Every structure is written in C-alpha cells, then in structure tokens.
Amino acid sequence: MPVPMPMKNSQLPSLNAGELAVHVTGITKAFGKGNASTLALKGADFEAQLGELQLIIGPSGCGKTTLLSVIAGTLVPDAGDVRVLGEMLTELGKGEVTDFRRRFIGFIFQQFNLIPTLNLTENASVPLLLNGAGRRKAEKAADEMLERVGLAGRGKHYPRQLSGGQQQRVAIARALVHDPRLIICDEPTSALDRETGHQVMELLQGVARQADRSVIVVTHDPRVYEFADRIAAMEDGRVLGNRPAAEALPEMAAHH
Ligand SMILES: Nc1ncnc2c1ncn2[C@@H]1O[C@H](COP(=O)(O)OP(=O)(O)OP(=O)(O)O)[C@@H](O)[C@H]1O
Ligand SMILES: [Mg+2]
C-alpha cells in the first residue's frame, strides 16, 4: 500500500459503523443561462456505503460526471445536500472543501487530466505534494503506485509518450497514491484492454473492501459489472435506483 501521509489536522469526523460514505439528496445543477441552459441534475439522490464498490451506470449525457463532480466538491450544486465521509460539503467554505478533497478523495477523470509538462513520477506524486509530503518520499510512493498499475520503470516518461491506456493507468496511480478514503472513478477502464482493465478493477475492489473506504465507479463497460457491490442507474438527471449487484445483475443480463 502507499506510504501513510504526514498530515496535520487530518482527523476525519469519526464515522460510525453503518454510516454512509456518500449521501447526497435533492441535487440540482444547471449549466448556462436562459434558453441555452441545460439542467444536468434534476433532484438527484444518491448514496454509497463504506466498504463497498458502487457502480453508477446510465446513458451518455444523463449527468454522471456532473454528479461525481458534485460529490468531489469541484462543482457546487444549485440546490441539495452533499455529505461525504461525514462532512456536509455544502456547509464548508471553498478552501475547506479543497483541503478536504486533497486529503480524503482520489479522482480518476474521464479525460485523465495528466499534466503534460510533468513526467509520470511527478504526475503521480502531485496529491502527496499537495498534502505537504516531501518530494523524495512522494516520488517513491508514486513509483510504487506506478508499478502496481503495470508501469514500472516508466516514471521518467512524459504523458505524450504513452498510449491512452497507459495514460489512464497513470491517472489511476495518481488517484490512489495518497491512500484516500473515497475514490471516485469516471470510466476508469475506457482505454484499457480486458486484462489490464481486470487488474485495475481488482486493485479498486481491494481498496473498496476495506471497511473505512469506498469506491464509486461510473462505467459503460459491462466487464466492470462483476466487481460491483451495488449498482445505481441514472437517467436524465436523476438516480432511479440503487440495488445490490446480486439483485441488479441477473435482471440486467436478462435485458441484453
Ligand atoms: N460545463 C458544462 N457546460 C454546459 N453543459 C454541460 C457542462 N457539463 C455538462 N453539461 C451538460 O450536462 C449534461 C450532463 O453531462 P454529464 O457530463 O454529466 O453527462 P455524463 O452522464 O457524464 O455523459 P457521458 O457518459 O457522455 O460522459 C449534458 O447534457 C451535458 O451537455
Ligand atoms: Mg461523463
């Protein structure tokens, strides 16, 4: 596992057994104004449990990335409550939300969002550096994480020298390097072949099975379903249902 973080004031509000990792209610979010506005979320309710890998599925444009951004605190909703790891994000100031996210959340972006001017080791060490770790320690942890996603010895390369799947694995290493409590993944296997996708999902599942962790995965990739503990379905700005995978999967299979 990644090295433990040197953190100041890092105590999370203590989470009680059975408390939710994520609990959002009544989220609305519009982009743009007037005739050009899009209502991306229309009163979305969603929860994710500690110790579980939670999938979110749904058609393109239904609001999945928007919902993840709200949970990560990078997007402020127009209405609704956002409770993450026991903190009501909608009641915190902007700086406090940023600080909270840096410490406790790892995010794998749909478009990877690697920094082109940094090599892979540097890219993967960013979350540790932002949390005040020293450079050598951060880069050592980053290289260990790169090794775990199958990129051993590639640390000195730059993102432009990599295939899409390799870039995606750097994004995954960066999301995990600071050992976050909540990992939010937007299509984490979209660029990966079957074997690599399987390895990445095993890694994420291993994290999710820790009692005080939670992993949320948005996906269009049916190969990911078998790793889910629960599956939520989104449609047109709302979450329609959220069920144990054991219930949801046979039904989904019957429809295909
Ligand atoms: N920054 C933005 N400005 C304007 N509209 C936006 C913005 N971001 C999202 N939208 C709109 O909000 C809706 C939901 O977008 P979102 O990216 O959340 O969908 P998604 O479910 O993640 O889709 P996909 O599966 O294609 O990634 C879409 O209609 C989209 O066009
Ligand atoms: Mg999206």
Q: Is 29 in the pocket of ligand 1 (CB under 6 A)?
A: no
Residue 251 has pLDDT above 90, yes or no: no
Residue 53 has pLDDT above 50, yes or no: yes
For residues 39 and 16, give the distance between their C-alpha atoms in angstroms, rounded to a whole number. 35
The more confident residue out of 211 and 115 is 115
pLDDT of residue 14: 64
Q: Report if residue 76 sits inside a domain.
A: yes
Which residue's CA lies nearest to atom 27 of ligand 1? 60
For 23, phi then psi, to 5°, come to -145, 105
For residues 150 and 172, give the distance between their C-alpha atoms in angstroms, rounded to a whole number. 11
For residues 42 and 30, give the distance between their C-alpha atoms in angstroms, rounded to a whole number. 9
Q: Is 66 in the pocket of ligand 1 (CB under 6 A)?
A: yes
Give the DSSP letter of residue 46: E
Q: Report if residue 160 sits inside a domain.
A: yes
The more confident residue out of 36 and 229 is 229
Q: Report if residue 10 sits inside a domain.
A: no
CA 73: distance to chain centroid? 12
Domain with residue 121: its CATH number is 3.40.50.300
Q: What is the mean pLDDT of residues 99-116?
A: 94
* β-bridge mates for residue 60, sequence order: none
pLDDT of residue 87: 93
Domain total of the chain: 1
**From ligand 1's centre to the CA of 137, what distance in Å?**
38
Q: Report if residue 144 sits inside a domain.
A: yes
Q: Report if residue 8 sits inside a domain.
A: no
Give the DSSP letter of residue 9: S
Q: Is 64 in the pocket of ligand 1 (CB under 6 A)?
A: yes
The more confident residue out of 12 and 184 is 184
Minimum mean pLDDT among 16-25, 96-105, 165-174, 234-243: which range? 16-25
Which residue's CA lies nearest to atom 5 of ligand 1? 31
pLDDT of residue 5: 45
Structural domain boundaries enclosing 191: 20-254
Residue 62 has pLDDT above 90, yes or no: yes
In the chain, what percentage of residues exceed pLDDT 70?
Answer: 93
Which residue's CA lies nearest to atom 1 of ligand 1? 31
Confidence of residue 28 (pLDDT cuts 50, 70, 90): very high
Lookup result for tokens 């299509």 = 187
pTM of the predicted model, to two decimals?
0.93
Q: Report if residue 47 sits inside a domain.
A: yes
pLDDT of residue 35: 86
Q: Is 59 in the pocket of ligand 1 (CB under 6 A)?
A: no
Ligand nearest to the CA of 234: 1
pLDDT of residue 37: 93
Lookup result for tokens 């979450």 = 239
Residues 6+ positions from 85 with CB-CB distance below 8 Å: 12, 13, 15, 21, 22, 104, 181, 182
Q: Report if residue 5 sits inside a domain.
A: no
Q: Report if residue 15 sits inside a domain.
A: no
Q: What token pair was written down for 173?
A: 């290493």
The secondary structure element, H or E, covering residue 144 is helix 135-148
Confidence of residue 13 (pLDDT cuts 50, 70, 90): low
